[in-house]
Structure formats: structure tokens, C-alpha cells
Amino acid sequence: MPRILVIEDESDIQSLLRFNLEREGHQVTVCGGGGDGLHELRRNPYDLVLLDLMLPDRDGLEVCRVMRADPAMAGVPIIMVTAKGDESDVVLGLGLGADDYVAKPFRIKELMARIKVRLARAVDRGRSGESKRLQFQGLVIDPVRHRVTVDGQVAPLTLTEFRLLHVLAAHAGVAYARYDLLDRIGDGETVVTDRTIDVHVRNLRKKVEPYQRFVETVRGVGYRFSELAEEPTE
């Protein structure tokens, strides 16, 4: 039974989300503030977090920053559910490490579909050939553990950043257009702008230093993983 943490301070939305998530068979915990949410994440493992931005104590952006900086929580998918739906807010949320962004008022069926796809993809990756471990010098990509290490240290990648790196590294030398990467790492429902992939790539590069040079920009196309990197070790 997938475990989902809802960090939301509005009681009517708490009830709406709990009812629909439990009806879908999920185990749901609700926290009314960012501080309580982080405390709960440190106590128990979760498969996904639904995160409001405007919270009474520690806001959603701070919660997102803390999660992505903590290796124990860094791989947990975050879907921001908030009334702040301007494009600048979307880019900021993705830049801080959110995997998806849903603006209020939202359609509950659409939100449930996004959650279902993200949870299912995590299971599918473990069953498919995408479970092979890849290593390029001190950069190790382990899909089974869903973990990336840089010279032995865990890199706090988001789910989307991990998918992006894994797709590129598994096909070193292949140039991918932005829209092709969105098809491969997204769920078809995520908010898409011309800057979405660029934001994720910028954050990914920062987190895998000193191997950021492996993620190359291909002018007029998109991105590729350098074919000059060492051959991957399975």
C-alpha cells in the first residue's frame, strides 16, 4: 500500500485529498504545517508527498529545500499543490526540486492520475532493464536503490533529475531534444514550458559536480551525456 504524505493547512482540501487517496488504496497521513511535515518524513518513509506552498509555519518552498538537501528524503517525489500558479512560480518550484506542480483549484481526477503514474513508474523501473547500475569514473547511477553517488557521497537528486540523468547516461553520446526528454521522464501531465528541462539540467549539474561536464548542451537540439566519459560499468 503506497504511503502518501499530505502537507496542507486547509481542512476542506485535507478532507478531499484524504478521501480520494484512501479510496484509491493509498495509506495517507496529513500534516497541517511544514514543520510537522518534515518531522513526519524523518520518522517514517513515504512514497510521495503532496505539498502546499502557503503554510502557517515553514512554507512549502523551504520544506522542498530541506527534503532535497537530505539524502534520506531526496528521492521522494514531490507534487506541489498550490494556489500560486503563475509560470514564474512553476519554474521556481521545479528549480527547488519539485517533480510536478498542480495549481489550485485542481481537478481531483487529474491529480489522482498524476499520482498513479508516478507511483507506477517507480515500480516499472525496478522490473525493467532500467535497473542496471552505471558508473562513469566517480559518478555512480544505481536505479535499483534509486540513488546517485558522487565520489562516494549521495547526491540529493529529485525523482525527475534522477530520471533525466539516467536516460542520458544510459545512452551516452545520443543527443536528445527537450521535447524527447520530456516524453521520456515526464508523465504527460506535468506543466511543460521551454524552460522546464533547462531548469532540471541546471540543478542536476550543480548536484553532480565535478562531473557536470558529462551533461553537455547540444546547441539547437538539447542535451546529451558525453561519449568521452569512461565506458559504463554494470
Tell if the pTM clears 0.75, that is, is over it. Answer: no
- Are both 61 and 144 inside the same structural domain? no
Give residue 189's pLDDT: 42
Q: Is residue 231 part of a domain?
A: no
Give me the pLDDT at residue 138, please.
93
More confident residue, 191 or 121: 121
Task: Please identify, among 61, 92, 126, the residue that sits at the C-terminal boundary of a domain.
Answer: 126
Residue 103 and residue 144 in one domain: no
List the CATH number of the domain containing 21.
Answer: 3.40.50.2300
State how far the Cα of 206 lies from the Cα of 31, in Å rounded to an integer.
Answer: 31
212: in domain:
yes
Three-state secondary structure of the chain? CCEEEEECCCHHHHHHHHHHHHHCCCEEEEECCHHHHHHHHHHCCCCEEEECCCCCCCCHHHHHHHHHHCCCCCCCCEEEEECCCCHHHHHHHHHCCCCEEEECCCCHHHHHHHHHHHHHHHHHHHHCHHHCCEEECCEEEECCCCEEEECCEECCCCHHHHHHHHHHHHCCCCCEEHHHHHHHHCCCCCCCCCCHHHHHHHHHHHHCCCCHHHEEEECCCEEEECCCCCCCCC
Q: How far is CA 56 from CA 39, 41, 233, in A?
A: 15, 18, 48
Please provide the average confidence, as pLDDT, over all residues in the chain: 83
The answer to whether residue 232 sits within a structural domain is no
Q: What local confidence, expressed as pLDDT, does residue 98 receive?
A: 84
Residues 85 and 116 in one domain: yes
Strand order across the beta sheet in which 78-82 lies: 27-31, 3-7, 48-51, 78-82, 100-103
Residues 80 and 133 in one domain: no
What confidence score (pLDDT) does residue 146 get?
76
Looking at the structure, tell me whether residues 12 and 122 fall in a common domain.
yes
Bridging pattern class, strands 153-154 and 215-218: unpaired
Residue 133 and residue 88 in one domain: no
Band of pLDDT at residue 203, cut at 50, 70 and 90? very high
Q: Is 118 contained in some domain?
A: yes
The C-alpha atoms of residue 116 and residue 77 are separated, in whole angstroms, by 12
Determine the average pLDDT of the residues in 20-27: 95
pLDDT single digits (tens) 143-201: 767 789 999 999 999 878 888 999 899 888 888 888 778 767 754 444 445 568 888 99
Q: Is residue 217 a part of any domain in this protein?
A: yes
Domain of residue 167, residue span: 128-225
Neighbour count for residue 207 (Cβ, 10 Å): 19
User: Both ends of the chain: CA-CA distance in Å?
Assistant: 31
Bigger pLDDT: 15 or 43? 15
Q: How many domains is the chain partitioned into structurally?
A: 2
Which residue, of 77, 97, 126, is where some domain finishes? 126
Residue 234's pLDDT is what? 47
Question: What single letter denotes the amino acid at residue 169?
Answer: A
Same domain for 192 and 176: yes
Assess whether 96 and 133 both reside in one domain: no
Domain boundary among 94, 126, 158: 126
**pLDDT top residue among 41 and 232:** 41
Q: What pLDDT is stored for residue 194 in this prediction?
A: 53
Express each pLDDT in 66-90 by its tens digit: 888 776 787 788 999 888 766 677 7
- Rounded to whole angstroms, how far apart are CA atoms 31 and 14? 9
